[in-house]
Amino acid sequence: MHTDTIAAIATAMGNSGIGIVRISGQEAVAVADRIFKEKGKQETLEGSPSHTIHYGYIYDGDQVVDEVLVMLMRGPRSFTAEDTVEIDCHGGMLVTRRILETVLKAGARLAEPGEFTKRAFLNGRIDLSQAEAVIDVINAKNEYALKSSVGQLRGSVSKKIRELREKILYEIAFIESALDDPEHISLDGYGERLLIGVQKMEQELSRLIRSSANGRVVSEGIRTVILGKPNAGKSSLMNVLVGEDRAIVTDIAGTTRDILEEHIYLQGISLNVVDTAGIRSTSDVVEKIGVERAMEAARDADLIIYVVDGSRELDENDLQIMELIRERKAVVLLNKSDLEPVVSLEEIAEKSGHRVISISAKEETGIDQLEEEIKSLFYEGEIDFNDQILITNVRHAEALREAYDSIRMVENSIESGMPEDFFSIDLMNAYEKLGLIVGEAVEDDLVNEIFSKFCMGK
Ligand code: GDP
């Protein structure tokens, strides 16, 4: 079916130690033989065993293009499950490009973005959720995201989905057989049995759906807003957080409304601090825009950090904000712990309903506790990578929600005493929705859309 031979530069564009040009397809080895000569040997790659490395030169006609190592991997033992040759060349932009051109001249076609992974999927080596994990591994911005994507790549999500589908299929088959052969297979009492089964499935599905809320936080970072009165120490805190030794900062202008976000990377987690009200420049959020507007800014945040100046009395603004953040994921910081305290930690804890951490942005104390608290708010107990699967992909979450709805319908049908063939319609729906996650019964255009998100050479 996919017999033409594709090639692309598989490494990032830019100067580096080595660059890799990857060739995959039926003619991959023949194409490589046309341009590669192993040093001091007469043998061709065609005549060599699989999974061997060959040292030699790439030729464009008589001209040597580069000194390279060539890796030979015959299908199905390769990433694409097709014959694959990887040319390790020097990593300069010009030289990798020249090698690619030579490969294309020798009979390969330039690969589309994601086409290698797409072939791995179409050749049945990985399923769709694993293919998507390839993109996520490449794009992972923090350790949690990476761990979760690697788990997905190794099949954690697929395994769970397959188990659920098997259970559903069993029930569909049972109903269908019983309806076909009522003399031998009885449906007496089946509704009650099925009810127990679907309730279990509902629980499992809803746990997976819930995990997708964390999944977004893991893959994209925790959307964070820092609130506090003027001079509470918000900018000082930001400066500590983005300080060279603990954070990597990049400024990106948001795609909408020009919101500036600073990405802070702390001990394996990422915070995207939304500078909605210009914390760093104007430093008087609450006063300037008012409590309501400040809360509005914080509406979409995953986390609110509220900074209180511990050396001044609490006022009406503080009390109002603390009341408003009671139901939110928030941390309250009692700043300026180096000065004589006027407010007590206990008082604020009681008023805000949140853990209060005493810090000094000036002396950089208490920051570790803040990091620990954020971790425990978002990760601990909820994300255990050893036995819990995390749904990080929006498409998967959507399919899970739809499957959940169908399973709920089955439950309703059982409870309202509908005939059994009603059950199987909704069971079938759930089965198909879950199939979308692993790529069974997905339409070609969805496959194309998913792989178009890849970059070249993947
Ligand atoms: P913002 O208006 O909330 O952004 O507050 P700033 O970060 O601009 O801080 C206001 C003032 O408080 C500045 O003079 C800071 O140097 C000072 N400040 C901030 N944090 C601390 C702290 O932990 N201890 C002390 N003593 N002063 C601080």
3-state SS assignment for residue 168: helix
Distance between CA atoms of 304 and 293, rounded to whole angstroms?
14
Distance between CA atoms of 226 and 243, rounded to whole angstroms?
17
Token pair 């729906």 is at which residue?
Answer: 429
Q: Are 320 and 294 in contact (CB under 8 A)?
A: no
CATH classification code of 6-126: 3.30.1360.120
pLDDT band at 108 (very low <50, low <70, confident <90, very high): very high
Return the exposure string of 19-30: e unless at least 16 CB atoms fall within 10 Å of the residue's CB, then b.
bbbbbbbebbbb
DSSP state of 249: -
Closest protein CA for atom 22 of ligand 1: 336
Q: Are 308 and 325 in contact (CB under 8 A)?
A: no
Chosen CATH of 219-378 out of 3.40.50.2300, 3.40.50.150, 3.40.50.300, 3.40.50.10490:
3.40.50.300
Average pLDDT estimate for 371-385:
68
CATH classification code of 134-215+391-451: 1.20.120.430
pTM (two decimals): 0.59
310-367 confidence digits (pLDDT tens):
999 888 878 888 888 888 889 999 999 999 888 888 988 988 889 999 999 989 999 8
Max Cα–Cα distance, the chain, nearest Å: 86
Ligand 1 contact via 339 beta carbon (within 6 Å): yes
Closest protein CA for atom 17 of ligand 1: 233
Q: Counting atoms of ligand 1 from 1, which one is nearest the CA of 232?
A: 3
Ligand 1 contact via 285 beta carbon (within 6 Å): no
pLDDT band at 260 (very low <50, low <70, confident <90, very high): low
Closest protein CA for atom 14 of ligand 1: 231
- Domain residue spans of the chain: 6-126, 134-215+391-451, 219-378
54 backbone dihedrals φ, ψ, rounded to 5° = -125, 135
Ligand 1 contact via 227 beta carbon (within 6 Å): no
Average pLDDT estimate for 402-418:
95
Ligand 1 contact via 234 beta carbon (within 6 Å): yes
> How much is the pLDDT for 254?
30
Task: Tell me the range of 248-252, 270-274, 281-285 where mean pLDDT is highest.
Answer: 270-274
> How much is the pLDDT for 300?
78
234, 236, 242: residue to mutate for ligand 1 pocket, most atoms within 8 A of CB: 236
19-49 confidence digits (pLDDT tens):
999 999 999 999 999 999 999 888 899 999 9
Average pLDDT estimate for 204-232:
79
170-184 confidence digits (pLDDT tens):
888 888 888 888 888
> How much is the pLDDT for 383?
44
Q: Judge if the upstream peptide bond of residue 113 is cis by omega within 30 degrees of 0.
A: no
> How much is the pLDDT for 283?
42
Distance between CA atoms of 402 and 174, rounded to whole angstroms?
23
